[in-house]
Amino acid sequence: MQRKSEKPIKITEVCLRDGSHVVAHQFTEEQVRDVAQALDAAGMHYIEVSHGDGLGGSTIQYGRSRVNEMKLIETAVSVCKQATVAVLLIPGIGTVNELKQAQELGAGLVRVATHVTEADVSAQHIHLARELGMEALGFLMMAHSAPVDKLVEQAKLMESYGAQAVYVTDSAGALLPHEVRERIAALRQSLDIEIGFHAHNNLSLAMANTLAAIEEGATRIDGSMRCLGAGAGNTQTEVLVAVLERLGIDVGIDLYQMMDVAEEIVGPILPGSQEIKKGSLVMGYAGVYSSFLLHAERAGKRFGIDPRDILIELGRRKAVGGQEDMIIDVAAELAKRQGKGA
């Protein structure tokens, strides 16, 4: 592989954040401790620990956490000797108060996440994170849903606020490899900071898209052990490490240890296999936020309609992360049209 960046690749493991969606936000302290400790020993660079919807996400709307996320962050920090514990914050869900608390507990990096057209709401949180001495990165979600020039415009805003990297975030798993290349290349030509990429595997393209991003110059890369993430999961971290080694790219992470962590520690946490089923496939096809799947399945059962119809309609309406409450409204409207009810 001919990379268009000389900077080292840094991997963020997201199974303890994105994977929270899969387990309905029911991670225990013991699970977080065991996973974080093993990943740290294997050489993982960053380990993200938050509610699936970021700091402050434990609500009725997004799903209550079994254990307060601050306790989970504290637990991860207590066992990490090398890895930096990271958090996700979506302005409007998380606040500066949660950010300060996470930093006081030892979180060293925050990804401030906004819809791809709403980077302006990230300014306060990026500024504060830098003031607190944290690494502060921008995370542009649903990156498939905006033209490339809009993506560049919004990434430059995050850079101007002090973001040290900006991610192209394929929240729906909808991007195709050539679309990833186009976006990463455009950011590389327009920004002076690092570029990141976060994939979802709803169209079975997470690995291909991640490699395309790396080739075009992305250096901040996300993965999830055993694909433990929303929808069909993310780029499978232990597989990514193996592929990068095959390509001659050493990221300083022990492959055998990663295999063991995936098989022996993360695997038993999964409630089911992270394969591409009809729900996750239709999310990638329709371009719908990956965390909507469980909500759509519940709404479909409640109203007696096919969850795929709900997801397709959400895609048509261009629903974005944070609009989970829209799912019930859409389901009710579709049920009415189809002559069904709750």
Q: What angle do CA 36, 231, 68 make, to 5 degrees?
A: 40
Query: Which positions make up the binding site for Mn(2+)?
Result: 18, 198, 200
Token pair in block for residue 272: 């089911």
> What does DSSP say about strands 10-13 and 84-89: parallel, antiparallel, or unpaired?
unpaired
Q: Alpha-carbon distance 202 to 133, whole Å?
A: 36
Query: Which positions make up the binding site?
Result: 17-18, 171, 198, 200, 289
**Catalytic site residue 45?**
no
Token pair in block for residue 323: 């609009």
**Nearest of 322, 14, 292 to residue 172 by alpha carbon:** 292
Phi, psi angles (nearest 5°) of residue 254: -75, 115
Beta bridge partners of 236: 224
Can you state the angle between helices 29-42 and 69-79, rounded to 10 degrees?
30
Residue 118 · residue 67 · CB < 8 Å: no
Phi, psi angles (nearest 5°) of residue 47: -130, 115
Q: Alpha-carbon distance 159 to 184, whole Å?
A: 15
DSSP state, residue 321: T
For 165, the enclosing helix (H) or strand (E) is strand 165-169
Catalytic residue (choose from 21, 115, 125, 144): 21
Token pair in block for residue 64: 């209550």
Q: Alpha-carbon distance 169 to 80, whole Å?
A: 26
* Amino acid at residue number 102: A
Active site residues: 21
